[in-house]
Amino acid sequence: MERIHYDQELWGPEDVYTFVPERHLTKRHSMAYMPFGVGPRNCVGMRFAFMEMKMVLTKLLKDYTIVKCDKLESHIKIQEIALIIALQEIWIKLQKREH
């Protein structure tokens, strides 16, 4: 797994050990980035990470309402690689709910 994630041919020409988030904008093979592995032997941490994200999102949406921000553009451009990535900033406001 580490050899794939640090392969100069897949992730170059920048130093593969340097954090360059823009490198993920380039179209690559769908199996070039596998943070949790794939198949029956994938990392159990993936399920834990997804559960944690769901719990945080649930708590956030329980306590706050998402309100449109004045800075938000009417159309959001996205790119789909391993994840869906917004090509520009997405501005929102969180408004505390009254319980």
In DSSP notation, 16-60 reads TTS--GGGGGS---TTS--TT--GGG--HHHHHHHHHHHHHHHHH
Q: Does position 1 have pLDDT exceeding 70, yes or no?
A: no
Better pLDDT: 18 or 53:
53
Kindly report, residue by residue over 26-79, the tens digit of the pLDDT: 787 777 777 777 777 778 888 899 999 999 999 999 999 988 888 766 777 777
Which residue do the tokens 């944690």 mark?
52
Structure confidence at residue 91 (pLDDT):
77
CA angle 29, 15, 41 (to 5 degrees): 45
pLDDT band of 21, cuts 50, 70, 90: confident
- 69 assigned binding-site residue: no
21 preceded by cis ω (within 30°)?
no
pLDDT band of 88, cuts 50, 70, 90: confident
Q: Which residues pair with 64 in a beta bridge?
A: 96
